[in-house]
A = this chain, B = another copy of it.
Amino acid sequence: MRIGVLTSGGDCPGLNAVIRSVVHRAVADHGDDVIGFVDGWRGLLECDYRKLDLDAVGGILARGGTILGSSRVQPAHLRDGVERARGHVADLGLDAIIPIGGEGTLKAARLLSDAGLPIVGVPKTIDNDIASTDLTFGFDTAVGVATEALDRLKTTAESHQRVLIVEVMGRHTGWIALHSGMAAGAHAIVVPERPFDIDELSERVAARFEAGKKFAIVVVAEGAKPRAGSMDFEVGGKDMYGHERFAGVARQLAVELEDRLGKEARAVILGHVQRGGTPTAYDRVLATRFGWHAVEAAHRGNFGMMTALRGTEITLVPLAEAVETLKTVPGDRYAEVETVL
């Protein structure tokens, strides 16, 4: 068999572990050929690839990033994207393509699959927002990094007698905020799924100070927003240069809470540090299993599917199902954490 693999979208700890696992399983066990497309879909569309043998994946298991590079190019961006992909697959004699990526990548994977290409997707997102799988690799690492930062910030908040508003990743979903906030014992957690009421939030923090505590930690997902009318909010939050990237809910919350509480409040934005570097053991295991099972799916002809974790098993789910909805934090999970603050 001849298999092509590619990584697409943002950085995510575990990408190299998947690539390595695909190559180990395919080359060492099945005697397959594996090639890797460079910079994601761009490599497929431009037929830019390199051979992946066992040596090519030596020592990469624990390394962050992706040896194949990535980009945000999508086949749908080109008028003839699907046709070009089909042509290169035929030219290269590929029997299977394993794209590793997030929601956008999986949508592209579905598009190509619907066009008849032999695709087995591997889901990737630090945000944990892909439906049909209990978890994806990268998320555990992101939560671990955020939790370690929160552990450190707690002693500083306490020494300085401050409110710290810590912004973690999560544009559409609050999974990282929920898990890292729960793991670190945050005193309030604010997620995009549930627009916050600034009065309520402020009262919650105030209650903590009234109970004699000298500091508070609020974890907020970057995509969190106030309930309509709850407070002035700079939507999109542009900075003085007009760049969206510098704005943030944490800074606006810090200003607002400082005013209301009469306590020093500071924003800390964890940023990219959550999505890079060596994966946790958990993510390495999950990534390795996904790679292994993607090759098995290819050999069984299970195309148009995506690997997924269900309980302790790796299963396959239709790509169509996986990209239909975003997996958001359900109300009962939020309830769990609200009560232990």
Report how many residues on chain A are interfacial, defined by Cβ distance under 8 Å: 85
Contact A275 to B182, CB < 8 A, known contacts A140-B282, A336-B292 = no
Partner of A271, one of B140, B159, B243, B268: B268
Residue from A20, A160, A239, A243 having most chain B Cβ neighbours under 10 A: A160
A134 to B64, CA, bound (A): 28
Is there a chain B Cβ closer than 8 Å to A11's Cβ?
Answer: yes
What number of copies of this chain does the assembly contain? 4
Is there a chain B Cβ closer than 8 Å to A130's Cβ?
Answer: no
Binds B, one of A79-87, A115-123, A144-152: A144-152
Q: Is the CB of A281 within 8 A of B144?
A: yes
CB-CB nearest in chain B for A238: B240
Q: Is the CB of B61 within 8 A of A185?
A: yes
Partner of A183, one of B10, B144, B272, B284: B284
Binds B, one of A23-31, A91-99, A198-206: A23-31
Contact A245 to B266, CB < 8 A, known contacts A10-B160, A11-B159, A62-B184 = yes
Residue from A61, A71, A156 having most chain B Cβ neighbours under 10 A: A156
| CB proximity to B under 8 Å, residues A207-253 | 214, 234, 239-241, 243, 245-246, 251
Q: Is the CB of A289 within 8 A of B336?
A: yes
Shortest C-beta distance, A238 to chain B (Å), equals 8
Is there a chain B Cβ closer than 8 Å to A107's Cβ?
Answer: no
A147 to B282, CA, bound (A): 10
Q: Is the CB of A273 within 8 A of B134?
A: no
Chain B residues with Cβ below 8 Å from A29 are 339
A284 to B337, CA, bound (A): 12
Q: Is the CB of A276 within 8 A of B154?
A: yes
Q: Is the CB of B272 within 8 A of A164?
A: yes
Partner of A282, one of B143, B289, B336: B143
Chain A residues in the interface with B (C-beta under 8 A): 10-11, 15, 20-21, 24-25, 28-29, 61-66, 69-71, 134-135, 140, 143-149, 151-161, 164, 179-180, 182-185, 214, 234, 239-241, 243, 245-246, 251, 255, 266-273, 275-278, 280-282, 284-285, 288-289, 291-293, 310-312, 336, 339-341
24 A-B residue pairs with Cβ-Cβ distance under 8 Å, sorted by A, are A11-B159, A63-B155, A64-B155, A70-B159, A147-B281, A151-B277, A151-B278, A153-B277, A154-B277, A164-B272, A179-B281, A182-B284, A183-B281, A183-B284, A240-B240, A241-B251, A266-B272, A268-B273, A280-B282, A288-B340, A289-B336, A292-B336, A292-B340, A293-B336
